[in-house]
Structure 1
């Protein structure tokens, strides 16, 4: 009886419980109202987020590195290294999708390349430490970049964070360099001003120094120079110069300037960034474009005398006709890209942003270039791409006529090259008429004789006018 009375006295009535609940509810509503009135929304959200972050990190045993595609003003080299390295780990992909790409226009049946789709997870292991990579993407708010912003998440156990920071990232950087050095396919990039990004395609130009029709002495000197540059990292560091090399290729149209660029790219195994200065709005945009290029690459700026960054672009010769006039009109639309802006990237402070870079300028008229571009130190090597000479002709004949070394027409044709200005492109066009050496060489001889008659008649016209 006593026990029953005790429990009856300890248990509150239903009305008492309801009264307590009502009081607590009223207090909660009052506290929330006061809190909302006194503390701004942003401060409340910050407190809540930090509270959640603290407890989630406390109970979460993992640590995540975030690797964005951009770092300050340039491409994040760690992101680029990961982008190069991770496709070698596709066997460890844990999600049920795979990116399949094929841009080989010359061989549609070639084996496609496999890549990492967004949100895919890839497993890796470094010295027994399990790692997980994830590629993520989100909308880019930058007015200079319309493409989505991409970044990697690298997750590991918290206790391995320091080791990953000090050793793993160095490991993938070195691995990516080896992959790029031995890459099978080169790429040629062009800048898209609408998307503010570089677009690329597989570069399959088959010209090499072996097949390049060029004066042997100039070719050998250039190859030695390129090899010395490639092995010159310590030298450039010792003398305090940016690791770059500049080449100016000048000469008439059709003398093989583009083919020489292809031979350099294949020899060095470098990608090409083909920049049309007419598509660049101003010097600031030019810096932003050039700093997003990669190491071990060729920056190509063709027809520099008509680029808009030089003093003027005068009308070309009769062979170029309307093209020269159209080019001049285009330059008037883009007066903001200045010569000083270009030079600042060639040999100014910004030239050190990318390492192991080759800069190639081409022009049909070196005499039109501003003297500042020709100053020593700007372009290290000037190479004249001249009209066809006997040595170049023999190389072309061997390439296009089944490696022929001797023919009765060789001597008269070689003599004609001393009297007539014919470009390698014109000679090649004649040699491709037939695989039969007799037919091809006879056609070339007739072409040169016709060209000689035209040149002689043009030379005689001014004399007759003077008389």
Structure 2
């Protein structure tokens, strides 16, 4: 034993050897850094790491990015919905927030911050999730986010076959029962959809529409939700297009809110005037999610493509006019903005298949201004006329705003409404002036009588102008007749 201890080197010898090895390693590292480029060093390091991890590591990692093949990844979105329900003691940090401006005392909702870890157990598998973010190389690109899912190598197939489908089905169930809806608007500077809580109280119960029309809309929405397999079997994208048209103030926006509340769909409100070109439009629309409503209001004012199409249809026989028209078409083709063909391609073209269970709603005050290509089925499947207030709509509004179903003034007001056009918005405005039904209804009658008097004055003024024009024309005819007689007399004399 004593001889064994004598063979052990002294501490000074060990420290000297360690110092020599450290100096040698630093020298080698310096030479490598000087002789081998950084990209080559990173490549070699990655290869060594992959080699050792493949043979000595028992873990496997899945990467789920927020974008997949030019569109938003539905898998990423499902994980975002699912993981906050699995937060436990292993999660060291938590993201909290409340975007409900109408209720600042509402409890905040949980979310996952970057680099947060969540441990999930599923059918005996231990699964570790981490949210990562990759900084964009260029300032005008947004940062890319992705999830890392770590599991044992032997569980890789079970994760794909059982665990990920479980996440998707759970997320779908959560989304179908979501209490809060969002209203999205597109931020062109940041190239992202920004959201706020959507809490419009409109419902089909409170809409001032004809009962038959409301029933047909609800029936069509229910049928749309139930026909996923049917749309797939006939080779069509699972979407539905609605056109709401009629005078201003007839409840088009309120109907959109009622549809969103009924379906529990988020709303993406797109202003086409701010979209730079068709390529930008495709990128914006493909970043919307499934189970959502795409709203394009005042479509007749949004595209100059309809005017371009109508201009190109005008025949021109003059060569100079052809030249002018060609130059005009060139200006239109290079002018920034969305073209009709670009919009149609997303609504009913190849890009329409990028997403499922979507409702596209267009609104306009002037249906006759729209290009016929927009109006055909497959693009705007259901056309809904939002007209002036009817007796049935009036009763619904009175019941909603005043809480009464009958009154002595009902008959008189209904007769007035059938003669004088008045919008539901105008009726509602008068009913909100006072909680006393008698005062509110009398105020409504005064407004309708005022509109009737104004109409009569306008008609009388118009008739007066017509009479004046006829008198002027008659005077001209008399003068021409006198000149003709004088000319004949001079001729015979």
Return the alpha-carbon distance in structure 2 between the equivalents of residues 211 and 332 of structure 1: 45
Cα separation, partners in 2 of 1:34 and 1:43, compared to 1, 3 Å: closer
Residue pair 2:305, 2:338 contacting (<8 A) in 1 also: no
What is residue 99 of structure 1 aligned with on the other side? 95
2:128 to 132, 140, 147: 132
Return the alpha-carbon distance in structure 1 between the equivalents of residues 32 and 135 of structure 2: 38
Instruction: Give SS of 1:97's match.
Output: coil
Matched, 1:340 2:341: yes
How big is the shift at 1:275? 0.5
What is residue 372 of structure 2 aligned with on the other side? 371
Return the alpha-carbon distance in structure 2 between the equivalents of residues 165 and 265 of structure 1: 34
Cα separation, partners in 2 of 1:34 and 1:68, compared to 1, 3 Å: closer
What is residue 307 of structure 1 aligned with on the other side? 302
Matched, 1:203 2:198: yes
Residue pair 2:273, 2:337 contacting (<8 A) in 1 also: no
Return the alpha-carbon distance in structure 2 between the equivalents of residues 113 and 155 of structure 1: 26
What is residue 56 of structure 2 aligned with on the other side? 59
How big is the shift at 1:60? 2.5
Cα separation, partners in 2 of 1:33 and 1:263, compared to 1, 3 Å: closer
Matched, 1:81 2:78: yes
What is residue 275 of structure 2 aligned with on the other side? 280
Residue pair 1:306, 1:312 contacting (<8 A) in 2 also: no
How big is the shift at 1:120? 1.0
How big is the shift at 1:462? 2.1
Residue pair 2:91, 2:119 contacting (<8 A) in 1 also: no
Instruction: String of CA shifts for 1:88-130, please: whole Å, max 9, x gaps.
Output: 112x252432111111111111121111111111110110101
Residue pair 2:92, 2:117 contacting (<8 A) in 1 also: no
What is residue 388 of structure 2 aligned with on the other side? 387
What is residue 148 of structure 2 aligned with on the other side? 153
Return the alpha-carbon distance in structure 2 between the equivalents of residues 143 and 33 of structure 1: 36
Residue pair 1:186, 1:204 contacting (<8 A) in 2 also: yes
Return the alpha-carbon distance in structure 2 between the equivalents of residues 445 and 35 of structure 1: 89
Return the alpha-carbon distance in structure 1 between the equivalents of residues 224 and 277 of structure 2: 31
Residue pair 1:309, 1:342 contacting (<8 A) in 2 also: no
Return the alpha-carbon distance in structure 1 between the equivalents of residues 333 and 436 of structure 2: 49
Q: Which runs of 5+ in 2 are unaligned?
A: 1-6, 8-16, 309-331, 468-493
Return the alpha-carbon distance in structure 2 between the equivalents of residues 249 and 241 of structure 1: 23
Return the alpha-carbon distance in structure 1 between the equivalents of residues 101 and 120 of structure 2: 33
Return the alpha-carbon distance in structure 1 between the equivalents of residues 406 and 37 of structure 2: 91
Where do residues 25-424 of structure 1 align in structure 2 (5 Å cutoff)?
42-90=39-87, 92-141=88-137, 145-146=141-142, 148-312=143-307, 335-402=336-403, 404-424=404-424
How big is the shift at 1:249? 0.1
Matched, 1:463 2:463: yes
CA RMSD, aligned part only?
Answer: 2.7
Residue pair 1:277, 1:309 contacting (<8 A) in 2 also: no
Higher mean C-alpha deviation, range 453-462 or range 423-432: 453-462
Higher mean C-alpha deviation, range 40-49 or range 427-436: 40-49
How big is the shift at 1:166? 2.1
Pairs aligned (count): 426
User: Would you tell me which structure has more helix in proportion to its own residues?
Assistant: 2
Higher mean C-alpha deviation, range 209-218 or range 439-448: 209-218
Instruction: Give SS of 1:81's match.
Output: helix
Return the alpha-carbon distance in structure 2 between the equivalents of residues 332 and 457 of structure 1: 48
Return the alpha-carbon distance in structure 2 between the equivalents of residues 309 and 352 of structure 1: 25
Cα separation, partners in 2 of 1:357 and 1:363, compared to 1, 3 Å: same
How big is the shift at 1:269? 0.9
The TM-score, its normalising length taken from structure 1, stands at 0.86
Return the alpha-carbon distance in structure 1 between the equivalents of residues 392 and 370 of structure 2: 30
How big is the shift at 1:36? 7.3
Return the alpha-carbon distance in structure 1 between the equivalents of residues 279 and 96 of structure 2: 36
How big is the shift at 1:192? 0.5
Cα separation, partners in 2 of 1:216 and 1:250, compared to 1, 3 Å: same
How big is the shift at 1:143? 6.5
